[in-house]
Amino acid sequence: MSANDHTQAPPVPPRSGFVLMVATMALLFSLVAVLAVAFRMQNSNSTVPAHYGSTMMNGSTVHGPASMMGAGTGTGGGAGVETVDVVIKSDEEHARRGPEGTWHDAFLPASFTVRPGATVKVTFHNYDEGEHTFTSMPLGLNFKIPGGSARHPKSTTFTFRAPDHRGTFLWYCAMPCDPWAMSHVGYMRGYVTVA
Ligand SMILES: [Cu+2]
């Protein structure tokens, strides 16, 4: 910087004006913080009881208690509809190889991500003759997936509402099929991530 620049610089505002500006900004920030805390409390009040109070195994194919979550807080607004396609194949159809080298029954993919509050339409394409389920305690879901065949896979669509809060929710197949696959994530169990 040259001396010339210095002389042409605009005058520094009076000190009292500067202090007033800082004080106003501090007030605004604290107001925003208070609002954020209040909003968060309201949000958790509405989601926690529905999340943990869920009863299940009712065979409902449309919705579980998850659909009751988040009434009124508006966090899920505009989340829209999301579609998920899952292929189910048996070990004979070479669904997915386990670490020990043998093929197992599997949902492909077994894990997927949806947005908070979204209406999720999941279509299962079952190439296996056996029945499977998409069961999740935390999501309050228990979808029964009818059997199909390798030549004529059976497609079944279920709809549920994703929780308004972010998280990772375990699901598993409750229908006795492939015991190893039933206890391993990526085969007959997986995660629905809400993010
Ligand atoms: Cu299964």
How many A from CA of 173 to the centre of ligand 1?
5
Asked, for residue 26, whether it belongs to a domain, the answer is: yes
Could you tell me if residue 23 is inside a domain?
A: yes
Domain, as residue range, for 34: 1-52
Instruction: Kindly report the CATH number assigned to the domain that includes residue 133.
Output: 2.60.40.420
Cα 106 to ligand 1 centroid, rounded to whole Å: 8
How many A from CA of 112 to the centre of ligand 1?
Answer: 17
Q: Is residue 73 part of a domain?
A: no
Give 68 Cα–ligand 1 centroid separation in angstroms: 28
Gap from CA of 19 to ligand 1 centroid (Å): 67
- With a CB cutoff of 8 Å and minimum separation 6, the contacts of 66 are 50, 51, 54, 139, 140, 141, 160, 161, 162, 163
**Rounded mean pLDDT, 104-133:** 98
Specify the number of domains making up the chain.
2
- CA dist 141 and 183 (Å) reads 18
**81 CA distance to ligand 1 centroid (A)?**
26
Q: Is the pLDDT of residue 73 over 90?
A: no
Please report the beta strands in 19-131, taking only residues with DSSP state E, as ranges in sequence order.
Answer: 81-89, 96-97, 103-104, 106-108, 112-114, 119-126
**pTM to 2 decimals?**
0.62
> From edge to edge, which strands make up the β-sheet containing 189-194?
112-114, 189-194, 167-172, 132-136, 141-145
| Residue % of the chain over a pLDDT of 70 | 60
Measure CA 124 to chain center.
Answer: 18
Has residue 146 got a pLDDT over 60?
yes
Q: pLDDT value at position 21?
A: 56
Query: What burial letters (b/e) apply to 127-142, b meaning 16+ CB within 10 Å?
Result: bbebbbbbbbbbbbbb
pLDDT of 79 = 78
* Residue 24 confidence class, pLDDT cut points 50, 70, 90: low
Strands 81-89 and 119-126: parallel
Say yes or no: 108 and 43 in one domain.
no
How many helices (H) and strands (E) the chain has is answered by 3, 11
State in Å: Cα 174 to ligand 1 middle: 7
Residue 74 lies in a domain: no
- Ligand 1 centroid to Cα of residue 9, in Å, is 75
